[in-house]
Amino acid sequence: MDPLRYASDILDSLTSGVLVVEVTSRIAYVNLEVSRILKVKREQLLGRLLFDAEGLSEMLLLINRIRAARPVSARSYRQYEIQVTDTRGDTIPLGISISSLTTNDGKVEGYVAVCRDLTEGKALMEQIEQSRKLSALGTMAGGVAHNFNNILGSILGRTQLLRRSADMDKIQSGLKLIERAAVDGTACVKRIRDFARKRDFNPSFTEVDVKELVNDVLAFTQSRWREQAQAQGLRYAMQTWFDEDLPLVVGAASELREVLINLVLNALDAMPQGGEIEITAHTDRGKVLLSVKDTGIGMSEEVQKRIFDPFFTTKGMAGTGLGLSESYAIVVRHRGQISCKSAESRGTAFTITLPQVGGRELTHMPSRGRVLLVDDDQARLDVLEDLLATEHYSVETALGYRDALGRFEAGRFDLVVSEMELREMAGDTLLREVRRLDPTVRTILTGDAAGVDCGSADLSLSRPLPIEVLLQSIGDVLESKR
C-alpha cells in the first residue's frame, strides 16, 4: 500500500476543495474539487504564485492578513467567506478556513485552505427568504384571526351574561367591557392594514395602568374560567398580587391585553381538570415584571424551545400555533422581553418585562446613538446597559440570537454589540444577518472572537474588557458611521 497515493485519492474524493500554499505563496497542491470550482486543470495551478493565479486574489489577501495578525505558532483559523473567479469570469462565493503548516519548533512552512462552494447554498437561502417574505402576510392574517377569536369569544360570553342580568350596574359594566373589546378588534384590523400598505409599524403608545390591564383581562376571560368552568364542574382559582404604588408602563393597552388574554387562555387549556392561575406584577431596575403562572401540565424542554415559533402548537387541530408568536412580536415592539419557565407536571410561568414610565428606555433618543446589546448573560447585559446609559446612549438589550433579530427588525439601531458565544447561534452570524437587514449599521463582536478578521464586525474586542476601552471603541465605531 502506497500511503501517499491513498492520501491523494482520499483528498480527491472530498466534496470540499483543498489547496496547499507554501510560505512563499506558491501553490503546492490542489485537489480535484478546487479544479472543479475554478474550472481549470490542476496542472495549470501547481507551482504558480497566488498573485499570478487568476481569480485567487482574495485568498492571497486573506492569507497575508492572517499572517500579519496571528502569531506564527497559531495552527487554526476561523471560517471566512471570500469571492473567487473561475476561468469563465463567473464569481463564486467560497466558505474557506485556513490553517498554518508548522514544523515541530513552530516555524510556519505554509498554509492549507479548505473551501466549499456556497453557490447552491446561497441560492437555497434566497428561496427560503423569499418564501418567508411571501408567507409573512399569511402569518399576520392568521395571528389577527387568532386574536379576533379571543376578542369575539369575550364579547359573546359577556353578552350571554348580560342577557341573564337585570342589574343595571352590571349591564353598564358589561357594555363597557364589550366596547373595549371592540376597540381592541379595531386596533387588530389597523395593524394588518398597516402591514399591507408596507408602512413601518409605529403604534401609538400611551401610559398604561398594569392593574387595570389585568382586571380587564380577568373580566374578558371570566366567562371561560368561571361560568363555563362551573357548568362543567371545574374550579379555577384566580390570584393577583401587585407591588404597592406600581408604576405605569408605556405601550398600547389593546396589544398588551391581547398578550395577557393569550397567556390566561393557554393556562386554562393547560389545566383541563381545574387549577390555579397567579398573576403578579412588581418593579425592578426601572422596569415592570408581569408574570402569569399556572399549576398545569407544564412543558418539556423540547417544547419550550419552540413555543414562540409561528404555527407550532401542542393542541392539535384545536390550536393555530400563532398566539405565542404574535405575543412575542407584541412584547418586542414594546421594547420588552418575554420568557418562560416550565417543567412537566409542575406548571408554567411566563414573565413579561416592560419599561416603566420615566425609565431609561422612554427618554428621548440621545444624539450619541442607539445601541443594541446582545448576550446570553442577563447580569452582563444589565451592567453594560447601565454603563452606556450613563454615557447618554439609548440602549436596548436582547437575550440571545432570536430576541436580537426581533428587536432589530422592530426598530433602527446605530450599533449592535454582540457576544461571540450565543447559545442559539454564533454572534458573528447574528452580525452578518443584521448587516443584511441594514448595511449601514455598525457592529462590534466581543468575547473569544477578539482579533479575528471577521467581516461581519467593524471591531472585535477580547475579555477582560476595560470600561475605558469599551467606551472608546463604541465612540470610534459610531463616529466612523458619521
At residue 367, the 3 state secondary structure works out as coil
Q: How many whole angstroms separate alpha carbon 150 and alpha carbon 225? A: 14
Q: Model confidence at 352, in pLDDT bands (50, 70, 90)?
A: very high
Q: Are residues 384 and 451 in the same domain?
A: yes
Q: Are residues 341 and 246 in the same domain?
A: yes
pLDDT confidence of residue 365: 39
pLDDT confidence of residue 236: 93
Which of these, 83, 105, 81, 108, lies nearest to 95 by C-alpha position? 81
- Domain edge (last residue) among 117, 140, 161: 117
Q: Are residues 163 and 254 in the same domain?
A: yes
Q: Model confidence at 163, in pLDDT bands (50, 70, 90)?
A: confident
- Identity of the residue numbered 9: D
pLDDT confidence of residue 281: 94
Q: Model confidence at 238, in pLDDT bands (50, 70, 90)?
A: very high
Q: Which residues contact 211 (CB under 8 A, 6 or more apart)?
A: 242, 246, 281
pLDDT confidence of residue 70: 47
Which CATH number do you get for residue 456?
3.40.50.2300
For the cut 50, the answer to whether the pLDDT of residue 198 exceeds it is: no
Q: Which residues contact 26 (CB under 8 A, 6 or more apart)?
A: 47, 48, 49, 50
Q: Are residues 372 and 448 in the same domain?
A: yes
Q: Model confidence at 8, in pLDDT bands (50, 70, 90)?
A: confident
Cell of 253: 393597552
Helix axes 119-163, 253-269, angle to 10 degrees: 90
Give the count of beta carbons closer than 10 Å to the beta carbon of residue 360: 19
- Identity of the residue numbered 456: S
Q: Model confidence at 241, in pLDDT bands (50, 70, 90)?
A: very high
Q: How many whole angstroms separate alpha carbon 45 and alpha carbon 19? A: 10
pLDDT digits (tens, 9 = 90+) for 109-137: 888 888 888 887 766 666 655 555 455 44
Q: What is the mean pLDDT of residues 460-469?
A: 72
Q: Are residues 389 and 312 in the same domain?
A: no
Q: How many whole angstroms separate alpha carbon 262 and alpha carbon 119? A: 43
pLDDT digits (tens, 9 = 90+) for 18-46: 988 888 888 888 899 888 888 888 888 88
For the cut 90, the answer to whether the pLDDT of residue 292 exceeds it is: yes
Q: Are residues 239 and 98 in the same domain?
A: no
- Domain edge (last residue) among 299, 331, 355: 355
* Range with lowest mean pLDDT among 197-201, 203-207, 247-251: 197-201
pLDDT confidence of residue 322: 47
Q: How many whole angstroms separate alpha carbon 256 and alpha carbon 258? A: 5
pLDDT confidence of residue 321: 39
Which CATH number do you get for residue 238?
3.30.565.10
At residue 238, the 3 state secondary structure works out as strand
Q: Are residues 96 and 195 in the same domain?
A: no
Q: Which residue has the higher pLDDT, 176 or 71?
A: 176
Q: Are residues 23 and 100 in the same domain?
A: yes
Q: What is the mean pLDDT of residues 400-410?
A: 81
User: CA of 393: how far to CAs of 302, 367, 418, in Å?
Assistant: 38, 8, 16
Q: Model confidence at 289, in pLDDT bands (50, 70, 90)?
A: very high
| Percent of the chain scoring above 70 in pLDDT | 77
Instruction: Work out the angle at residue 258's Cα, subtended by the Cα atoms of residues 376 and 379, and round it to the nearest 5 degrees.
Output: 20
Which of the residue ranges 147-156, 274-283, 417-426, 433-442 has the most confident prediction, judged by mean pLDDT?
274-283
pLDDT confidence of residue 196: 44
Q: Are residues 213 and 296 in the same domain?
A: yes
Q: What is the mean pLDDT of residues 447-457?
A: 61
pLDDT digits (tens, 9 = 90+) for 52-61: 776 677 777 7
Domain count, the chain: 3
| Percent of the chain scoring above 90 in pLDDT | 12
Helix (H) or strand (E) holding 469: helix 467-481
Q: How many whole angstroms separate alpha carbon 402 and alpha carbon 324? A: 14
Q: What is the mean pLDDT of residues 270-284?
A: 92
* Range with lowest mean pLDDT among 5-14, 321-330, 440-449: 321-330
pLDDT confidence of residue 127: 64
| DSSP designation for 356 | B
**Residue given cell 492569507 in the structure block:** 63
Q: How many CA atoms lie within 13 A of 292 on its CB side?
A: 22
Q: How many whole angstroms separate alpha carbon 201 and alpha carbon 244? A: 34
Q: Are residues 138 and 21 in the same domain?
A: no
- Domain edge (last residue) among 117, 137, 163: 117
For the cut 80, the answer to whether the pLDDT of residue 227 exceeds it is: no
Q: Which residue has the higher pLDDT, 155 or 267?
A: 267
Name the residue range of residue 176's domain: 124-355
- Identity of the residue numbered 100: S
Q: Model confidence at 209, in pLDDT bands (50, 70, 90)?
A: very high
Which CATH number do you get for residue 85?
3.30.450.20
Q: Are residues 82 and 135 in the same domain?
A: no
Identify whether the C-beta of residue 478 lies closer than 8 Å to the C-beta of residue 414.
Answer: yes
pLDDT confidence of residue 136: 46
Average pLDDT of the chain, as a whole number? 77
**Residue given cell 369569544 in the structure block:** 153
pLDDT confidence of residue 320: 39
Identify whether the C-beta of residue 113 lies closer than 8 Å to the C-beta of residue 82.
Answer: no
Q: Model confidence at 154, in pLDDT bands (50, 70, 90)?
A: confident
Q: Which residues contact 127 (CB under 8 A, 6 or more apart)?
A: none
Q: Are residues 241 and 305 in the same domain?
A: yes
Helix (H) or strand (E) holding 8: helix 3-13
Q: What is the mean pLDDT of residues 445-471?
A: 70
Cis peptide before 464 (omega within 30 of 0): yes
